[in-house]
Chain A
Amino acid sequence: MKKKYDYQYICILLFAVLTGLFISSCKKFVDIPNPPDKIISAEVFTDDAKASSAVTGIYGSLINGSTGFANGLSTVFAGLSSSELNRFNPSVNEQEFLESQLSPSNSTVQTFWTNAYQHIYYTNACLEGLQQSNGVSVSVRKQLMAECRFVRAFCYFYLVNLFGDIPLVLSTDYHLNSVLPRTPTPDIYRQVIADLKEAKDALPVSYITTEKVRPNKWAAASLLARVYLYQRDWQKAEAEADEVINSGLYSPLPSLQAVFLKNSKEAIWQLLPKNGFVPEVTQIIPMASTPRVILPSSVMQSFVSGDQRRTRWVDSITYQAVRYYYPGKYKATTASNSEYYMVLRLAEQYLIRAEARIYLNNLIGTISDINIIRSRAGLPGLSASLTQPELITALENERKTELFAEWGHRWLDLKRTDRATAVLGPVRPGWQPTDVLYPIPLNEILTNPALTQNAGY
């Protein structure tokens, strides 16, 4: 009998040893180190260098990340929406843009939305991180926070113009953000203006690095000028544009060939493409025999004879004996590192000031601003006798020819000037006035019951 107890004793002892081993070693064992290819949030904002990386990563992602509103979509798809551009072999997705028959499940519409909000999240995360940070120096913190506000305003500007009322997300808290309803457009603009004003105040006049690929004070002012213009706040629009033009940093306007080069004199803010050429061109410039994006005859006809933009900024290809024109503002299709992606440039500021001045009854000022643009294009100046309505038309045409195939300017212009139905209605069989807004992507409505759909979808 004694032996039996021995066995039991041994067993109990062994079980105890096992349990002991488990308790002592397991906690440690499953406590693995953080992955070496990642960095933890708390470590990001501990010094100037890492905090700066977090902010510059946003620019990198804007221009070099997956296709989004800031690396081609706005130019091409908003271009298709306004009939400024046509597609040689349109996909179903593109066809919906071309015919203003967008379905809420159109994947490009979804990309516009997702991509912009993704970058808004990045800016919010950086703002929160910088706010709480102790390790980042005061000056760097000020600079970086201003840049984040600038980029956030930039993203919201496109979202609100494409979709109308949209959720206003200002934090990283998904509990809160996932149920946010749409905020009225004026409130979005209020936030955009607030962000831009803060950015303008905080950002230095000089660029933080040698190139113009991170925003300075004038970048913020330029975007602010555009926002005021869209708000029809003519005085403020003129004032902001005026400040930028008078900064002297960007004038005189360079020749047409030099506009889209890197560090172009005219550039206020450019994005630096990693691959050595602007990613957008892969959707525009044909690589061989067949055209891709083409400029319809309506656009070609808007160039009057002698307009050098018609020759400098438009290229063509002949396919099966037919000549097709396509935007040629950017030329490089391989890693030449000669061109950066132009986001804000001085010519637009002249046009903003010119437009504001029409409504401020400074017609002389308008004409002189427009003529600066025209003279670079090799065109004669406008007659000083033009009336206000004539100038409105002249300005629209000037914007059309100066800013074509850039960031969907034409689409946004048609919308903000309430000209969309007049221009597109006759050429699009199924056109409805509600088509000026893209549909809220279906996936968003399904995942957030607080979202409503735009009228007409």
Chain B
Amino acid sequence: MQLIAFGKRLKGPSVAREKTVRSMKLIALFLLILDLQTSAKPLQQEITLSLSNASLESVFKGIQQQTHYRFVYTKQQMSVAQKISIEVNKASLEKVLEICMRDQPLTYVLEERVVIIRFKPASPETLPPTYAVLTVSGRVSNEQEEPLAGVTIAVKGSNKGTASNEHGEFQLQDILPDAVLVISSIGYQSQEIHLLGRTTITVQLQLSVNSLDETIVIAYGTTTRRLNTGSVGKVTSVDISKQPVSNPVAALQGRIPGLLVTQSSGLPGAAFFLQIRGKNSLSQGTQPLYIIDGVPFMMNSISLSQSALSTSSQSPLNSINPSDIESIEILKDADAIAIYGSQGANGVVLITTKKGKAGKTNLDASFYTGIGKVTRTVDLLKTTDYLAMRKEAYKNDGVTPTASLAPDLLVWDTTRYTDWKKLLIGGTARITNAQATLSGGNNSTQYLLGAGYYSEVTVFPGDQPATRGSARLNLSHISPNGKLRLTANTAYSLDEKKLSYNDLTRFIYLPPDAPPVYDSAGNLNWTNGFDNPMSYLHRTYNGETSSLIANSTIQYRVIPLLQLKLNLGYNNMQLDEQVMQPIKAQRPSATTTGTAEISNSRLKSWIIEPQIQLNKPMKNAVLDILAGLSFQQRKQISSRITGTQFTSDDLLGNMASAGLITATNSLSQYNYAALFGRINYNIQKKYIVNVNLRRDGSSRFGPAKRFASFGAIGGAWIFTEEKFLQQKIKWLSFGKLRGSVGVTGNDQIGDYQYLDAWNTTNASQYQGTAGILPAQLYNSSFQWERNQKTEAALELGFLKSRIQLTAAYYRNKSDNQLVFYKLPTQTGFSTILKNLDASIMNSGLELELLSKNIIKQKFNWQSSINVTIPKSKLLRYPGLDISSDRYNYITGEPLDIYFGFDYLGVNDTTGIYQFRDLNRDGRISTPSDIMKVGRIGQRFYGGFLNTLHWGNFQADIFVDFRSQTGKNYLATSSTRPGAIGNQPVYVLDRWKKPGDRSRIQRFTTTSSNPAFAAYNNYRSSSALITEASFIRLKNVALSYELPRRVTERMKLKGLRFYLQGQNLLTITHYKGADPETQNLITLPPLKVFTGGLQINL
């Protein structure tokens, strides 16, 4: 069967076509052709025709020219059609079609803007439309007419289906004549066939054109990879579902060029730092803008608790269930971002949640459970080596240890050995995840109801659960006339964490002979000098976050060209925290009273965005115009009550029992308004111009500096659409050259910074009255930061897009830097918010290659690899040599250079670290002896994904790699090798006697020993910079889908089993714990193994 669209071949090689040469009418500068995806043309459109004895096809052609309706028919249909004569003047389409079809064996169906020509059904007597069922048989082949086996043939909206045999043949029984068959096979484009009463069909499947035509979400709309003029990276729900992660951004790691994702620790709910195309600001926020279904999401932790685990380390994104996400798009260049104006300088993360789809009710449930262990830790000294180290240190210092200075040598039982690492972080985290989604609906109303549960227990001893329950409802409705569309989304989640007050990782460095944590009576052991780690388990942090995210869209098509749209959003996040420090968990000599802290933070935000969309098709082009307003408000209310001097642990829950209560509260408001617009002009899907504009006002700036304008222009040339190229380079199936340039801004400076504010604190109370104190240095004249982004990219598809290559070069220049400029504290404060007349540049090359290596019936292998090579440079910094940044940056050099002492190794005579004495004054001192000694940052990074299908098996293997330098293991350890506290085994390579060549200086523990000060210098010297490159087997996902014949018997639509692993293996030369976190005292990322199943009912 061949389907023909007017003037364009949909499929099949032999179609008689007429080239229609249409003159293009230039109306404005910006022109384009685009399918008007959703606009229904009115039937009232007037058609004037005068033809006699014309073929039906030529009549359709005439209608098409006047109405832009497209006709879909087969060659066979045309061959049976009667010639017709027609004479109409300003007639409606309906009327014209009625005339055309009057004596034909054909009829038509109007769908959106497509007229589908069908054979007239047989007479009603022989085929009662409601009851008759058919047996349908057919054959599936590829483009070379070879039969395809294993192709799924499903009946849309039912659980009926079959697969083709080795001859490509299939048969389905009891099928309604108006059924729609969905023919799909991996690696091929799916097809939907309207049966229209036929009982035999032949289907030719085309190789999938890959992702070129898949929808991607952009600011205030959607586009396709083919037509996009901007730089957008995408991760889909499929990629997310393969990773056992609780935070959606964790699934982005390594997947998108230009995006660097770094995990802060392995604790549940730990934050991930996202950096899109480098650090665009010298000191101000470099956080991207997060938008969930069109509503900006506040990323700053609203925690007010003083617990070490709550502050800054928790990510608000944890309240989002990753399974609810349909796709995450990362907007990177000016073209994609500029419409967000001032908020987009650091890139934008668009999160789109799943929506209901029309069809039979579908229940999808999945469950997995698994375990997590810490990835990589350092090996520490055992008791014998440890004690030897300590004694050697005292010997080196010429000091006799005392009981108060060296309890590990003189007081504690030196025969003991405790593997603190195993005891404190060697546990197994248990992870459980369950999801269920119910969706369905009809053509006018669709729904999706989802619920999820996730729980994770830390690797710390004891139960420290972090759980999240979430529920979501999505509704969409289209009015019968297609004019009104409504969508509404509500998501609620409750996230609860019961953690210890501190990350216990820091305690793995306790001396290995430290006393037992509990005494014989089972009480915490408080031997002098022993910071009992178990006491931190009794100091608890409870955090409960409830989050409500609601948004809805109302669209109304006033006239075919014009649509009005209203986006509404409301977020409400509430965090209740409780920190308890009971008496029993604290050293009796330090305090005899307990402390409790209750804090509440509430963040409310809303957004209203009225928009107008104009969608104007012209002869050879389509013009899309969008204009809108955005009003946003964010209010944060927080309070914390701290009760101290509790005399009994039993009373900690009741603030009235506190000996002393202090309270703080804060309120802040942020209002933001914008006018934005976009003009997109697409000429023949070949030349595309896209212009974005935004005028922004933000309450974060002083009254005189609140408004600023931003904008960008982007363009694309799809050169493979050029006839002369199409004929010459056959192997090149797709080629696009695109570029953009524009200006964006950044207002991540916090609220009210422009105010000359004074406030009352707990401390400022005096004699029972509230004192007031200046809150900050005052500067009302700071302005918007500007970020100029330029990008040029080439997108190529080879061999019918089996291989796709994208190469992008970007260059972001930031000036008028808005920074908290460091001041000497003689000014009263340590920073001032001001605009720095410095200019920095981030540039880089991003490469992405997708390849379908093997496409066989039974075996299928796809790969994708991406690499980013980032560069940064300080272009200009007037007055750098007299500024507080003079030991951070050098004009013309990268931003990640590191200043320190120049390390010269261990002196083999004295056994002490040596450094270059720049000013030759005989001593090593800051700043006179510090200089640029290297760089700490990424040389390149990326990811490598392989997806293999083998029958019903699927395997995904994802590798994350980074070439980088980092800080070595001593950077986060303030304890000197030799002092009380365990050390990595690397320190055994120390200097012992004159003549020794070693990497570690003599052990020391006394500050009068010059080695003591040398250690301080070492920690700010070039010795700190170390190779921290790694290749990490980030994700492995294996799954097996039960064959359809089995699931059918089980009355299921699908059943899949899977095994998944995260952070399975890390290959690195890095000395220390984890090369990503580069921190000895925070929990390294976990390696996670899970197994689960997914059922589709």
Chain A contacts to B: CB under 8 angstroms: 7, 10-11, 14-15, 18-19, 21-22, 25-27, 29-42, 44, 50, 52-61, 64-66, 88-90, 92, 95-96, 99, 101, 103-105, 110, 113-114, 117-118, 120-122, 124-125, 166-167, 169, 172, 174, 177-180, 209, 211, 213, 272, 274-276, 286-290, 292, 319-320, 334-335, 428-430, 442-449, 451, 453, 457
Expressed in whole angstroms, the Cα–Cα distance for A172 and B616 within the complex equals: 60
Q: Are A35 and B778 in contact (CB under 8 A)?
A: no
Q: Are A320 and B1008 in contact (CB under 8 A)?
A: no
**Closest chain B CB from A279 CB (angstroms):** 10
Q: Are A29 and B697 in contact (CB under 8 A)?
A: yes
Q: B404 within 8 Å of A by Cβ?
A: yes
Q: Are B562 and A101 in contact (CB under 8 A)?
A: no
Q: Are A274 and B765 in contact (CB under 8 A)?
A: yes
Q: Are A179 and B882 in contact (CB under 8 A)?
A: yes
Q: Residues of A contacting B829 with CB < 8 Å?
A: 118, 121, 174
Scoring B residues 770 to 785 as 1 if CB is less than 8 Å from chain A, else 0, what string do you get? 1111110110000000
Q: Which of A61, A174, A457 has the most CB of B within 10 A?
A: A174
Closest chain A residue, CB of each to CB of B700: A30
Q: Residues of B contacting A30 with CB < 8 Å?
A: 671-673, 697-699, 706
Q: Are A288 and B588 in contact (CB under 8 A)?
A: yes
Contact residue among B403, B767, B974, B1008 (Cβ-Cβ distance under 8 Å from A56): B767
Contact residue among A40, A180, A289, A445 (Cβ-Cβ distance under 8 Å from B927): A445
Question: Given A57-B764, A64-B764, list of 18 further CB < 8 A pairs?
Answer: A11-B561, A22-B673, A31-B706, A34-B755, A39-B758, A53-B769, A54-B773, A56-B771, A59-B766, A64-B765, A89-B405, A117-B826, A122-B828, A178-B826, A209-B767, A213-B767, A288-B588, A289-B528
Closest chain A residue, CB of each to CB of B763: A65
Q: Are A18 and B884 in contact (CB under 8 A)?
A: no
Closest chain A residue, CB of each to CB of B666: A37
Q: Residues of A contacting B830 with CB < 8 Å?
A: 114
Which of the candidate stretches B116-124, B589-597, B1025-1033 sits at the interface with the other chain?
A: B589-597
**Closest chain A CB from B698 CB (angstroms):** 6
Q: Are A31 and B769 in contact (CB under 8 A)?
A: no
Q: Are B675 and A92 in contact (CB under 8 A)?
A: no
Q: Residues of A contacting B761 with CB < 8 Å?
A: 61, 65
**Closest chain B CB from A402 CB (angstroms):** 29
Q: B12 within 8 Å of A by Cβ?
A: no
Q: Are A40 and B825 in contact (CB under 8 A)?
A: no
Q: Residues of A contacting B367 with CB < 8 Å?
A: none
18 contacts between A and B (CB under 8 A): A14-B612, A15-B612, A18-B675, A22-B629, A22-B675, A26-B673, A33-B669, A35-B669, A35-B757, A37-B667, A41-B756, A41-B758, A53-B760, A53-B769, A89-B528, A178-B827, A287-B589, A446-B887
**Closest chain A CB from B927 CB (angstroms):** 6
Expressed in whole angstroms, the Cα–Cα distance for A449 and B886 within the complex equals: 9
Q: B668 within 8 Å of A by Cβ?
A: yes
Q: Are B884 and A447 in contact (CB under 8 A)?
A: yes
Closest chain B residue, CB of each to CB of A104: B926
Closest chain A residue, CB of each to CB of B830: A114
Expressed in whole angstroms, the Cα–Cα distance for A319 and B887 within the complex equals: 48
Closest chain B residue, CB of each to CB of A173: B827
The 9 A-B pairs at the shortest CB distance, nearest first, are namely A57-B771, A121-B828, A60-B766, A447-B884, A448-B824, A65-B763, A57-B764, A41-B756, A26-B673
Q: B628 within 8 Å of A by Cβ?
A: yes
**Closest chain B CB from A90 CB (angstroms):** 8
Q: Residues of A contacting B628 with CB < 8 Å?
A: 18
Q: Are A57 and B697 in contact (CB under 8 A)?
A: no
Q: Are A117 and B667 in contact (CB under 8 A)?
A: no
Q: B1050 within 8 Å of A by Cβ?
A: no
Q: Residues of B contacting A65 with CB < 8 Å?
A: 761, 763-764
Within 8 A of A (CB), among B784-824: 822-824
Scoring B residues 512 to 529 as 1 if CB is less than 8 Å from chain A, else 0, what string do you get? 000000000000000011
Contact residue among A15, A57, A292 (Cβ-Cβ distance under 8 Å from B772): A57
**Closest chain B CB from A125 CB (angstroms):** 5
Q: Residues of B contacting A428 with CB < 8 Å?
A: 1008
Q: B627 within 8 Å of A by Cβ?
A: yes
Expressed in whole angstroms, the Cα–Cα distance for A319 and B927 within the complex equals: 44
Q: Are B589 and A60 in contact (CB under 8 A)?
A: no
Q: Residues of B contacting A90 with CB < 8 Å?
A: 405
**Closest chain B CB from A325 CB (angstroms):** 15
Q: B695 within 8 Å of A by Cβ?
A: yes
Q: Are B774 and A19 in contact (CB under 8 A)?
A: no
Q: Residues of A contacting B403 with CB < 8 Å?
A: 320
Contact residue among B559, B822, B1012 (Cβ-Cβ distance under 8 Å from A447): B822
With A89-B404, A287-B591, A430-B1008 as given contacts, are A57 and B766 in contact (CB-CB < 8 Å)? yes
Q: Residues of A contacting B757 with CB < 8 Å?
A: 34-35, 38-41
Q: Are A172 and B614 in contact (CB under 8 A)?
A: no
Expressed in whole angstroms, the Cα–Cα distance for A31 and B752 within the complex equals: 11
Q: Residues of B contacting A319 with CB < 8 Å?
A: 528
Q: Residues of B contacting A430 with CB < 8 Å?
A: 1008
Within 8 A of A (CB), among B578-624: 587-593, 610, 612, 614, 616
Q: B311 within 8 Å of A by Cβ?
A: no
Closest chain B residue, CB of each to CB of A86: B404
Expressed in whole angstroms, the Cα–Cα distance for A409 and B42 within the complex equals: 94
Q: Are A60 and B765 in contact (CB under 8 A)?
A: yes
**Closest chain A CB from B875 CB (angstroms):** 22
With A38-B752, A99-B1007, A335-B659 as given contacts, are A287 and B592 in contact (CB-CB < 8 Å)? yes
With A101-B1012, A120-B828, A287-B590 as given contacts, are A60 and B1007 in contact (CB-CB < 8 Å)? no
Q: Are A169 and B827 in contact (CB under 8 A)?
A: yes
Closest chain A residue, CB of each to CB of B832: A174
Expressed in whole angstroms, the Cα–Cα distance for A289 and B561 within the complex equals: 83
**Closest chain B CB from A169 CB (angstroms):** 5
Q: Are A272 and B767 in contact (CB under 8 A)?
A: yes
Q: Residues of A contacting B826 with CB < 8 Å?
A: 113, 117, 166-167, 169, 177-178, 180, 444, 448
Expressed in whole angstroms, the Cα–Cα distance for A114 and B823 within the complex equals: 11
Contact residue among B589, B703, B752, B926 (Cβ-Cβ distance under 8 Å from A35): B752
Expressed in whole angstroms, the Cα–Cα distance for A99 and B757 within the complex equals: 43
**Closest chain B CB from A423 CB (angstroms):** 18
Q: Are B767 and A113 in contact (CB under 8 A)?
A: no
Q: Are B823 and A447 in contact (CB under 8 A)?
A: yes
Expressed in whole angstroms, the Cα–Cα distance for A118 and B776 within the complex equals: 11
Q: Are B828 and A117 in contact (CB under 8 A)?
A: yes
Q: Residues of A contacting B592 with CB < 8 Å?
A: 287-288
Expressed in whole angstroms, the Cα–Cα distance for A99 and B756 within the complex equals: 44
Q: Are A37 and B665 in contact (CB under 8 A)?
A: yes
Expressed in whole angstroms, the Cα–Cα distance for A50 and B927 within the complex equals: 44
Expressed in whole angstroms, the Cα–Cα distance for A292 and B757 within the complex equals: 40
Q: B200 within 8 Å of A by Cβ?
A: no
Q: B909 within 8 Å of A by Cβ?
A: no
Q: Residues of B contacting A55 with CB < 8 Å?
A: 771
Closest chain B residue, CB of each to CB of A176: B827
Q: Residues of B contacting A287 with CB < 8 Å?
A: 588-592
Contact residue among A52, A58, A320 (Cβ-Cβ distance under 8 Å from B773): A58
Q: B201 within 8 Å of A by Cβ?
A: no
Contact residue among B759, B762, B774 (Cβ-Cβ distance under 8 Å from A121): B774
Contact residue among A88, A169, A177 (Cβ-Cβ distance under 8 Å from B404): A88
Q: Are A101 and B1008 in contact (CB under 8 A)?
A: yes
Closest chain B residue, CB of each to CB of A21: B629
**Closest chain B CB from A342 CB (angstroms):** 17
Q: Residues of B contacting A21 with CB < 8 Å?
A: 629
Q: B660 within 8 Å of A by Cβ?
A: yes
**Closest chain B CB from A306 CB (angstroms):** 31
Q: Residues of A contacting B673 with CB < 8 Å?
A: 22, 25-26, 29-30
Q: Residues of B contacting A179 with CB < 8 Å?
A: 882
Expressed in whole angstroms, the Cα–Cα distance for A121 and B589 within the complex equals: 37
Q: Which of B562, B771, B775 has the most CB of A within 10 A?
A: B771
With A99-B1008, A174-B827, A449-B882 as given contacts, are A34 and B752 in contact (CB-CB < 8 Å)? yes
**Closest chain B CB from A120 CB (angstroms):** 7
Expressed in whole angstroms, the Cα–Cα distance for A168 and B669 within the complex equals: 38
Q: Are A32 and B882 in contact (CB under 8 A)?
A: no
